[in-house]
Amino acid sequence: MATIAFLLNGAPQRCDVAPDTSILTLLREHLAQTGTKEGCASGDCGACTVAIGELTAGTQAFNSANACITPAHQLQGRHLVTVEGLSEKGHLHPAQEAMIECHGSQCGFCTPGIVMSLFTLHNDLTQRPAPLTPERLEATLGGNLCRCTGYRPIRDAALQMQAIPYQRPQWYDAALPTTENDAQVIDLAGSTAFFAQPTSLKELTQLRQTAPQARLVAGGTDLWLESTQRLANLDQLIDVSRVAELLTVEEATFETQTGWWVGAGVTYTQLEPLFDAHFPAFAHLLHRLGSQQIRNRGTLGGNIANASPIGDTPPVLLALDAQVELASVNGKRYLALEDFFLDYKKTALAADEVVSRIFIPRLPESRQLRVWKLSKRREDDISALLCAFSYRLEQNTLHDVRLALGGMAAIPKRAYDVEAALEGQPVSKAAFRAAQQALAHDFQPMNDVRGSQAYRQQAAANLLERLYLSLSVPNQEVMLHAYAH
Ligand SMILES: Cc1cc2nc3c(=O)[nH]c(=O)nc-3n(C[C@H](O)[C@H](O)[C@H](O)COP(=O)(O)OP(=O)(O)OC[C@H]3O[C@@H](n4cnc5c(N)ncnc54)[C@H](O)[C@@H]3O)c2cc1C
Ligand code: FES
Ligand code: FES
């Protein structure tokens, strides 16, 4: 068992949990706190949403998370806030009061999760006052499904809650427990269970060497589904989420390129400022990656190491010529990301290695990046197809074309024949026709629930058409804004 010390709605807790315990199981089965509901157990419905508080720049910031797929041991030294904790001396939280006033609940099953997402929004707006834009509202609620009320009353509640007077409960200021050695490295003598929470890359690589069979967990948003959906045993775990070297973003030069080293454990939410400032097309994609709850927990390293053919970031990173740093007790080695993916879910990562950082080269002003994701739903859905293009346009001629696609092969992959068909060509119908034909040489896509082979082939050709249209008539809107992703 791992012993974790954390705050639950302001009250100190100390619990012993097995490595594969989720926060939802901890709440409902160990602590008899049943306000947090289980809907899907896969991070999709948001019924289990809780808020996790941690100190950021001296203030406690609360982020939403799906309790069903968040490891309980990651609560160590943190503050867990659930729907049971929101009211104070009989006064409801504004999110709860607004939901009642706006008739935002019918059966009520989704309501605790929705209230918790609204709580994080309310807290954020109080700490950093800013207009509540439709995009922000959509981001807050995009990971919460409601089957019976309909979303308009819930949206109304979100818009109204700021006007409701609110006295912060006393627990807001409760001190977080010190992390000491509680959930650090626990090797269970006489049992096969194993859990470690290293804080440095040195410790992590040593553990990786001694226990190569243990699974690494970062945000858990992929890994934990193996437990909840496939009932796999996750009783041997190394948690990488506290490893200092994996949590940094540093501007740097690598070989001849300037750019940023991004720690593998940096979450999507933490990446937003960098992408907003330097990669707007990548930032736009982030808004469509999972939900707010997933973006608060999922990491860039987890997306790459998971090596899914439909992971969203690898095609973009391939188009940007990203590099990966792999670390082991023997030191570090560097690989172009395209050499990292070998075959379906197979990577160049050795059993004793971890992904430690990812280098993202700066996009020169002369270069463009376009990213388009196709999925059945706009919110909280995995790609059927994702295309990332980068190129330099000089006197209407395409140069240094890099095009990578997800969902078209067993791995995220560059389209070398398409690149060759476009390289050095003027933006013309003929060049793009040749590029569309070259797609068939590069890819024989798969059939699956997200799209047939024929759909994928046609959709990829259509995205090349979209690129042609948007380049041939500058500033032309080729799709309605809401769907132009
Ligand atoms: C509801 C839902 C929606 C989602 N939507 C999207 C989406 O739109 N687009 C998308 O791309 N993904 C999506 N995902 C998948 C997932 O959120 C991402 O792949 C995420 O980036 C995984 O990161 P993580 O930190 O949670 O990884 P984890 O689940 O912790 O780990 C994933 C894998 O990587 C390994 N790993 C983690 N860190 C390292 C490391 N440093 N070195 C070596 N191996 C490591 C783990 O052992 C595991 O095998 C979704 C998931 C859910 C549940
Ligand atoms: S129970 Fe559906 S997201 Fe957790
Ligand atoms: S109120 Fe019934 S699911 Fe939302």
| Residue-wise pLDDT tens digits, 313-343 | 999 999 999 999 999 999 999 999 999 999 9
- For residues 212 and 320, membership in a common domain is answered with no
Measured on CA atoms in the order 49, 50, 51, 54, is the torsion positive or negative? negative
pLDDT at 175: 85
Atom of ligand 2 nearest to the CA of 40: 2
Q: Is residue 164 part of a domain?
A: yes
CB 303 within 8 A of CB 289: no
pLDDT at 127: 87
Residue 482 pLDDT more than 50?
Answer: no
- For residues 290 and 394, membership in a common domain is answered with no
Over residues 108-160, the pLDDT tens digits come to 999 999 999 999 999 999 988 888 998 899 999 999 999 999 899 999 999 99
Q: Is residue 47 part of a domain?
A: yes
3-state secondary structure of 85: helix
Give how many domains the chain has, as a whole number.
4
- For residues 79 and 222, membership in a common domain is answered with no
CATH code at position 398:
3.30.390.50
CB 42 within 8 A of CB 145: no
* Domain membership of residue 97 as a residue range: 1-176
Residue 474 pLDDT more than 80?
Answer: no
- 386, containing H or E segment: strand 385-394
pLDDT at 301: 98
pLDDT at 181: 52
- For residues 166 and 272, membership in a common domain is answered with no
- For residues 154 and 280, membership in a common domain is answered with no
3-state secondary structure of 307: coil
For residue 369, what are the CA distances in angstroms to 272, 409, 439? 17, 22, 19
> How far apart are the C-alpha atoms of 282 and 287, rounded to whole Å?
9
CATH code at position 228:
3.30.43.10
Over residues 39-73, the pLDDT tens digits come to 999 999 999 999 999 988 778 899 999 999 999 99
Nearest ligand to the C-alpha atom of residue 105: 3
Pocket test for ligand 3, best of 44, 49, 96, 106 (most atoms within 8 A of CB): 106
The mean pLDDT value for 346-353 works out to 98
- For residues 393 and 304, membership in a common domain is answered with no
Over residues 168-192, the pLDDT tens digits come to 888 887 888 876 555 555 554 555 7
Q: Hey, what are 473's tokens?
A: 């008539």
If we measure between CA atoms, which residue out of 350, 345, 306, 307 comes closest to residue 328? 350
Distance 166 CA to ligand 3 centre (A): 26
pLDDT band at 477 (very low <50, low <70, confident <90, very high): low
Helices (H) and strands (E) in the chain, counts: 16, 20
Q: Is residue 181 part of a domain?
A: no
The residue whose CA has the least distance to atom 4 of ligand 3 is: 146
pLDDT at 18: 92
| Ligand 1 residue neighbourhood (C-beta within 6 Å) | 42-44, 69, 215-223, 240, 264, 289-290, 294, 297-299, 301-303, 305-306, 311-312, 354-355, 380, 382
- For residues 49 and 127, membership in a common domain is answered with yes
CATH code at position 54:
3.10.20.30
- For residues 84 and 9, membership in a common domain is answered with yes
**For ligand 3, is residue 149 a contact (CB within 6 Å)?**
yes
Q: Is residue 369 part of a domain?
A: no
Q: Is residue 21 part of a domain?
A: yes
DSSP character string of 167-196: ---GGGGPPPPP-TTTTSEEE-TTSS-EEE
Pocket test for ligand 2, best of 25, 42, 83 (most atoms within 8 A of CB): 42
Over residues 433-452, the pLDDT tens digits come to 999 999 999 999 988 888 89
Residue ranges with strand state E in 211-362: 215-217, 236-239, 249-254, 257-263, 323-328, 331-336, 341-343, 346-347, 354-361
**For ligand 3, is residue 108 a contact (CB within 6 Å)?**
yes
- For residues 110 and 167, membership in a common domain is answered with yes
CB 340 within 8 A of CB 300: no
pLDDT band at 473 (very low <50, low <70, confident <90, very high): confident
pTM for this model (two decimals): 0.96
- For residues 85 and 152, membership in a common domain is answered with yes
Over residues 198-249, the pLDDT tens digits come to 999 999 999 999 999 999 999 999 999 999 999 998 999 999 999 999 999 9
Distance 287 CA to ligand 3 centre (A): 24
- For residues 334 and 466, membership in a common domain is answered with no
- For residues 201 and 128, membership in a common domain is answered with no
Distance 446 CA to ligand 2 centre (A): 29
> How far apart are the C-alpha atoms of 111 and 153, rounded to whole Å?
12
CB 177 within 8 A of CB 77: yes
If we measure between CA atoms, which residue out of 191, 187, 121, 192 comes closest to residue 154? 121
**For ligand 3, is residue 150 a contact (CB within 6 Å)?**
no
Lowest mean pLDDT among 238-247, 257-266, 379-388, 412-421: 379-388
Nearest ligand to the C-alpha atom of residue 74: 1
Atom of ligand 2 nearest to the CA of 67: 4
